[in-house]
Amino acid sequence: MSALYSLLAVLALVAAGLEGGRTGAGRDALTLIVPYAAFTIFLAGFCVRVLRWAWAPVPFHIPTTCGQQKSLPWIRQAKVDNPSSKWGVLARMAAEILLFRSLFRNNRARMAEKRLILGESKFLWLGALAFHWALLLILLRHLRLFIQPVPAWVNGLERLDGFLQIGAPQLYISDVILLAALAYLLYRRFRDPAVRYISLFTDYFALFLLLAIAVSGVLMRYFVRVDVLSVKQFALSLAAFRPVDLRALSPLFLAHLLLVCTLAAYLPFSKLMHMGGIFLSPTRNLANDSRRKRHINPWNYPVKKHTYAEWEEEFHDKLVAAGIPLEDEDAGKAHTD
Amino acid sequence: MQEKLIQIEQEPPRGDWRDPHVEFHKGAMCYSAAAKNLTYLGLPNPRTWQPTDSNWKLPPDWKKIILAGMKERLKKYRSFRLFMDICVRCGACADKCQFYLGSADPKNMPVARAELMRSIYRRYFTLTGRIFGSLAGGRELTEDVIKEWYSYYYQCTECRRCSVYCPYGIDTAEITMMGRELLTLIGCNINWVMEPVANCYRTGNHLGIQPHGFKDSIDFAANEASEITGLKIEAPINRKGAEVLFVMPSADYFATPHYYTLLGYLMLFHQIGLDYTVSAYASEGGNFGFFASHELMKRLNAKIYDEAKRLGVKWILGGECGHMWRVLHQYMDTMNGPADFLEVPVSPFTGTVFENARSTKMVHICEFTADLIHHGKLKLDPSRNDHWRVTYHDSCNPARGMGLLEEPRYILHQVSRRFHEMPENTIREQTFCCGSGAGLGTDENLEVRLRGGFPRANAVRYVKQKHGVNLLTCICAIDKATLPTLLEYWVPGVEVGGVHELVGNALVMTGEKERTTDLRGEPLASAALPASGEMEAVHA
Ligand code: SF4
Ligand code: SF4
């Protein structure tokens, strides 16, 4: 049900993008208002969310340790999976963010003849990693639309991305990978009963939205010609805060634009915020050194305790009968010892 | 019962998880906390009730209390707010939880367990949830939700296995802890947690053993250790001026097979001549407060530093216990420190400075013993453990909340000659829980425990069949209390023991009489088998 609703929502967006350009007012909205509104919401929303996390204190030192601790000098420590220094934490975070270290551990449990078998399962890791890297590459490639002259490294990236040299316009591998990875992630969400069980509207919506963006982008590049020059002109004008409306922008481009804006505006309200959140995760970004250095809890408060004195008073006779030293007696004894 | 339970299958989950309806049935739930325990601790809403009742007698403004409690915790814990926000429901954690694997109940998937809370968070604390309600993944907070929380937050052992696999490190244990704190605010606790907490608060230990009883047990153990070795072994109690305060979980002096581990400690301390004391006031290393709320954890934990200060010791040594070490390693110093009245721990025998415990001043017994062995301070005869084929179960907390993985293994390799690891993805940081931690280890909850313990037992069965393993060692009091039941059910013929039990067996003590039995009174294999030349102790 949520899958259907989210698909409909995305299709409605596509339709709005394709049709919206027909009237002058719609055009203005799509090219002038929506991009800035979306960008503002994105920036403000993203900052608010991140700041809210950042402002919440980390009262306790709770890294999840995934390897040997640093203890005795002759025992080999897992410096990355159980870091004890800043550098170790940096390495661990880099491995998480760039390589999806934890996802790489994934395995799959199944029952076979009353036995639990844990098998390899790297597809989720591969799919997720491929998707994120391809997306990053594509985003960076888009910089050519916003910067004039195009920086050399962007050109370099493009050459790298198109190294297969297939077709004209040249096929970018990142496009293929992105589509394939998205398709896999979507397939998995439908196919794996456990994942389907927990999936919400937002999960499907994000996937459909990304897929629609990717498909519209691919269509524009390889199948339905768009006037790249006017797109660039438009993008540059947007970036310079002097937006010009160009009649030459095609409906397909407008749909692509609307979808991207939706994604940007939706991002701060969604789980897609994980891109900012991962940096702050206290089970990953703390060094496992809580016995070596005291971690401070800013709101640590005194609690009611059952003190030794109260305890001794309550059990006084039993302590004496059992011959367990009392506080006072013992002080005297320690003196004579 | 085995036939019924053994049909563990991962069936495709059906239904909508947002339907909060749960049914409680005997054998698979924990009983409610007795009113007297809540009253003693000054906790809200003490009353007589059971989860099976339709009316839970919640306070009239329970909803307000829960929402205010959530709001407060969202402000105080970054972990809570972050983990509410960033889950992408990728499902990587789903089949990592032993309770899901053993029950096939989809709400036992860590992600679903967390969604039970997230759905409320989204509905009441996010803009989209307030506007779009269920379309944004929110749902109403009703009494049924409270019942559902009670059911599923008490089917999680806070083992953190899910957190190892989550790409963002989302720790469902953290969410369970918040869930239990919120339930504490309206008096929905389980007795297996609250009775130990109340006991510990009053007498100093979970079992409610009063000082004279404590002394009896310790003396009894010291006597038995003396009898086994023919030496005069003593265990000082509340002795001021000792160098080291030794704190162990109370089960060590009151339950078997823990008790053999205690014998092992006492023999080790005697042999090396450690200047130590135990305390009848701080007679509990474990901390069931941890299973109810951060505040209760702190109230119980405070005794250890207070007592160390009063006795004037230099540093603290801690025994074999899992969740005890999570608290000592990750919470104690923050909550009840700084321990500036203690000194940085130094082993009096090897001179090793325990830099890793520079601030807490508390050392794990496995770190201590491994260091002794490494420096050749112990004479060991591993052949005395030849009747055991040994494997090692990493307890969740030392593994995933500390990283104490190699120290116990090093010791085991030195004290036994027949050691076999379980499969790689069921040990170390990937270890499966015993299924009875975090207060779930009660008999009325046996079905949940046996199901949750199944993945662990399954791995034990593997090494039993492959290598003939007959002893599962571990360094956790809850493991030692609950794994025997688990193994008897799933893998009969495998016993449970502690690492220092095997140390006690292998330890060659000065002036001791010849040993013919192990600490359990079982005949030694070497007594029956011809002695072999290369049975000399191996020192690294
Ligand atoms: S692995 Fe982490 S992000 Fe994925 S479903 Fe589980 S908790 Fe959520
Ligand atoms: S902490 Fe352990 S018991 Fe709890 S949900 Fe995670 S894996 Fe399951």
- Alpha carbon of B121 to those of A37, A58, B65, B149, B410: distances in Å? 27, 19, 14, 13, 46
How close B392 comes to chain A (CA, Å)? 15
pLDDT tens digit sequence for A55-77: 999 999 999 999 999 999 999 99
pLDDT of residue B10: 63
Shared domain for A216 and A250, answered yes or no, is yes
User: B-chain residues within 8 Å CB-CB of A300?
Assistant: 334-335
Shared domain for A229 and A310, answered yes or no, is no
How close A86 comes to chain B (CA, Å)? 15
Cβ separation of B356 and A70 shorter than 8 Å? yes
Alpha carbon distance A156, A136 (integer Å):
15
Shared domain for A268 and A324, answered yes or no, is no
The two structure tokens encoding residue A120: 């390899």
Alpha carbon distance B481, B485 (integer Å):
8
Is residue B535 predicted with pLDDT exceeding 60?
no
How remote is the CA of residue B158 from the centroid of ligand 2, in Å? 5
Q: What is the pTM of this model?
A: 0.94
How close A220 comes to chain B (CA, Å)? 30
Q: Of B236, B256, B257, B231, whose CA–CA distance to B246 is shortest?
A: B236
How close A61 comes to chain B (CA, Å)? 6
Shared domain for A161 and A200, answered yes or no, is yes
Query: What does the mean pLDDT of chain A come to?
Result: 92
Nearest ligand 1 atom to alpha carbon B92 = 1
pLDDT tens digit sequence for B429-464: 999 999 999 999 999 999 999 999 999 999 999 999
Averaged pLDDT, B163-167:
97
pLDDT of residue B11: 66
Which has more pLDDT, B532 or B55?
B55
Q: Which of B87, B97, B107, B119 should be mutated for ligand 1, with most atoms under 8 A from CB?
A: B87
How remote is the CA of residue B112 from the centroid of ligand 1, in Å? 9
Residues with Cβ within 8 Å of B540's Cβ and at least 6 positions away in sequence, in order, are: B373, B374, B376, B410, B414
Alpha carbon distance B235, B307 (integer Å):
17
Shared domain for A128 and A257, answered yes or no, is yes
Residue percentage of chain A with pLDDT more than 90:
79
How remote is the CA of residue B93 from the centroid of ligand 2, in Å? 9
Shared domain for A217 and A327, answered yes or no, is no
Shared domain for A196 and A246, answered yes or no, is yes
Q: Check CB contact of A109 with chain B, cutoff 8 Å.
A: yes
pLDDT tens digit sequence for B5-34: 545 666 667 778 888 889 998 889 999 999
How remote is the CA of residue A278 from the centroid of ligand 1, in Å? 12
Which amino acids bring their CB within 6 angstroms of ligand 1? B 87-93, 110-111, 166-168, 170
Nearest ligand for residue B165 CA: 1
Cβ separation of B334 and A52 shorter than 8 Å? no
pLDDT band at A329 (very low <50, low <70, confident <90, very high): low
Alpha carbon distance B351, B441 (integer Å):
40
Question: What is the domain partition of chain B in residue ranges?
Answer: 2-188, 191-540
Helix, strand, coil percentages in chain A from 3-state DSSP, rounded to 5: 65, 5, 35
Helix B365-374 to helix B406-415 angle (10° resolution) is 50
Interface test with B, best of A66, A116, A203 (most B CBs within 10 A): A116
Largest CA distance in chain B: 79
pLDDT of residue B381: 96
The ipTM, to two decimals, is 0.94
How many domains does chain A contain in total? 2
pLDDT of residue B538: 35
Cβ separation of A198 and B115 shorter than 8 Å? yes
pLDDT of residue A282: 97
Shared domain for A98 and A145, answered yes or no, is yes
Shared domain for A281 and A318, answered yes or no, is no
- Looking at chain A from residue 230 to 249, which residues have their Cβ under 8 Å from any Cβ of chain B? none
The two structure tokens encoding residue B228: 């086994």
- Contact between B189 and B56 under an 8 Å Cβ cutoff? The reply is no
Shared domain for A228 and A330, answered yes or no, is no
Shared domain for A83 and A124, answered yes or no, is yes
Averaged pLDDT, A100-126:
90
Cβ separation of A118 and B333 shorter than 8 Å? no
pLDDT tens digit sequence for B492-519: 999 999 999 999 999 999 999 999 999 9
B164 closest CB neighbour out of A2, A105, A198: A105
pLDDT tens digit sequence for A149-183: 999 999 999 999 988 877 778 899 999 999 999 99
Q: Of A24, A1, A88, A40, whose CA–CA distance to A264 is shortest?
A: A40
- Alpha carbon of A194 to those of A106, B17, B83, B162, B211: distances in Å? 15, 11, 20, 15, 51
Shared domain for A241 and A317, answered yes or no, is no
Is residue A121 predicted with pLDDT exceeding 50?
yes
Q: Which of B121, B156, B166 should be mutated for ligand 1, with most atoms under 8 A from CB?
A: B166
A281 closest CB neighbour out of B92, B169, B357: B169
φ and ψ at A117, to 5 degrees?
A: -110, 130
For residue A329, give its domain range: 304-337
Nearest ligand for residue B172 CA: 2
Is residue B75 predicted with pLDDT exceeding 90?
yes
